Amino acid sequence: MLPLKRGGAGLLALLGLHNVQAGELAVGSMAPKFILPDQESNTHALTEYRGRWVVLYFYPKDDTPGCTTEACNFRDDLPALRALNVQILGISLDDAKSHARFAEKYSLPFPLLADAEGDVTRAYGALWSMGPLRVAKRYTFVIDPEGRIARIYRNVKPANHSRELQQDVKELQKGPAGVYKPVS
């Protein structure tokens, strides 16, 4: 019998169930850089958004109930988020064509980035796999205007996440630059 590693990781690996991720990101660390295409085949680099707050949200699949709720709430709250100088960027493992259909169907006015290879999703620790099946976990990262991670959400509830983010970004903008408290 194989020995179980801390947290049962050995058994999970044996069964083909595991999180595929880089080292754990922490509040205050620099956000991993990326360049990815969106639903209109335009490329987006994280460095383009320096000087603005970025809400980078990872989601499992286009046009599924939780992902649709989350995206539509961001759409509906976009004026309030823009007033806070926030750029919304969604990322999943779906391709640009799937993103285009999803964005058109729900009139989503922000970039949905296609990470078909999963490299960016992995760099943010949001890649989950079970054998050949891979999906992005529902994680969100608030990135400050200097490119540092200001807040990490690993337990996202799609129905109220946009409102939660608005409140948290307001609080982050009040505090001293570079000093952030973690969210549980």
Give per-residue pLDDT as tens, 29-75. 999 999 999 999 999 999 999 999 999 999 999 999 999 999 999 99
- Number of independent structural domains in the chain: 1
For residue 12, tell me if it sits in a domain: no
Contact 88, 109 (CB under 8 A): no
Angle at 68 between CA 96 and CA 24, to 5 degrees: 75
* 140 part of a folded domain: yes
Residue 80 lies in a domain: yes
The reply to whether 5 falls in a domain is no
Buried b (16+ CB within 10 A) or exposed e, 54-85: bbbbbbbbbeeebbbbbbebbbebbeebeeee
Residues 169, 84 contacting (CB under 8 angstroms):
yes
Active-site positions read 67
Mean model confidence pLDDT for the chain: 86
- 173: Cβ contacts below 8 Å, ≥ 6 apart: 53, 84
Q: Is the pLDDT reported for residue 3 higher than 50?
A: no
Question: Mind listing the pLDDT tens digit for each residue in 148-158?
Answer: 999 999 999 99
Q: Which residue has the tokens 């969210």?
A: 183
Asked if residue 7 is part of any domain, the answer here is: no
Least confidently predicted of 21-25, 30-34, 108-112: 21-25
Predicted local confidence at residue 78, as pLDDT: 97
Q: Regarding beta strands 140-143 and 53-58, do their DSSP bridges make them parallel or antiparallel, or are they unpaired?
A: antiparallel
pTM: 0.84
Q: How far apart are CA 134 and CA 149, in angstroms?
A: 25
Could you tell me the residue range of the domain that residue 33 belongs to?
A: 18-174
Mean pLDDT confidence for 4-12: 36
pLDDT at 91 over 70: yes
User: What's the CATH number where 78 sits?
Assistant: 3.40.30.10
Q: Does 9 reside within a domain?
A: no
Please report whether residue 179 resides in a domain.
no
Assigned domain for 34 exists: yes
Judging by DSSP bridges, how do beta strands 133-136 and 127-130 pair with one another? antiparallel
C-alpha–C-alpha distance, residues 15 and 122, integer Å? 20
| Closest by Cα among 130, 139, 134, 102 to 117 | 134
